[in-house]
Chains A and B, each alone.
Chain A
Amino acid sequence: MAEERLDVPACLELVRQGDNEAARALLNHLYPLVISIVRGHLPRRASEEDLVQMIFVKVFSKLEQFSGTVPLEHWVSRIAVNTCLNALQAEKIRPELRWADLSEEEEHVIQSLAATTEDLEPGQHLAARDLVERLLGHLSAADRLVITLLHLEGRSVEEIRRLTGWNISLIKVRAFRARHKLRKHLALLMKEQRQ
């Protein structure tokens, strides 16, 4: 693919000189990375495109500050994660999640979790993801971010430290507390299902 062969340092140099086509190529090169982060951390009411635009405007406006000591993708990821975190913090409303709010597929996921100790079937994975996103809506922005990075994206604690700037103990404590809250909300849903 053309995007994979992009000569990033040369492209960056052209962008710094104001080359519009180089900027477009860089944007397309970084887009899959940015969209995957945005989709993983999108606040409920936010528009995906608005958040992507905000991240790219920030990336381009701070491009002069990029020293090249870390790969560009790491630097952009950090900007994307922090922008998503700010957007999540601005979203204050955390609605109560009730059994009646769940879709049929999500109800099946809860029933499967309650009925067996087996892993969920592949056909239930998307519904499980939707359910997790609903449950994450109850957590604070930081808790939500740490669970998404750790459990949904499978990143290591060290990677999370690099992305967020939080120290390792803080990440572990946040993950522990966030899991505790998630477990509590899931237990409530499972209890409602039994009734």
Chain B
Amino acid sequence: MNPMDSPLDRLLAAAARAKRPLPQTAPLRVQSRVLAHGWGPVELFDDWMALIPTVRRALVWACAIAVVAVAIGYLELRTPASDEALWLNSALTLDSLP
């Protein structure tokens, strides 16, 4: 055994030995609530709960992509047009003059 693990091992071993008495029958309240639901294929809220982390991750990624797109657009606007673009632009303007 790794001596560094010793306190953790002793703690876990002691925790595993802690026995709390367990009820042997379901309280009537629980029985009524469960049986009132009936049975059969139903949509469960719990199944949707499992999707929450995925949806949250997708939202974060969508936001990150949107921010990057805005930043790129902004940089494009701020960057002065190259000489070639200016030359072409002036040529087009001159062409369009009567």
Q: Which residues of A contact B (CB under 8 A)?
A: 1, 3, 15, 20, 23-24, 27-28, 31-32, 35-36, 39, 49, 52-54, 56-58, 60-64, 83, 86-87, 89-90, 109, 113-114, 117-120, 122, 124-126, 128-129, 131-133, 147, 151-154, 179, 182-183, 186, 190
Q: Which residues of B contact A154 (CB under 8 A)?
A: 16
What secondary structure prevails in chain B residues at the interface with A? helix
**With A23-B35, A52-B30: A186-B8 Cβ-Cβ less than 8 Å:** yes
**With A31-B23, A32-B23: A151-B12 Cβ-Cβ less than 8 Å:** yes
Interface pair B42/A61, CB less than 8 Å apart:
yes
Interface pair B11/A120, CB less than 8 Å apart:
yes
Number of interface residues of B (CB under 8 A): 40
Q: Which residue of B lies closest to A147 (CB)?
A: B12
What secondary structure prevails in chain A residues at the interface with B? helix
Q: Which residues of B contact A182 (CB under 8 A)?
A: 8
Assembly CA distance A55 to B91 (angstroms): 75
Q: Which residues of B contact A129 (CB under 8 A)?
A: 14-15, 18, 20
Assembly CA distance A120 to B6 (angstroms): 12
**With A57-B34, A57-B37: A83-B7 Cβ-Cβ less than 8 Å:** no
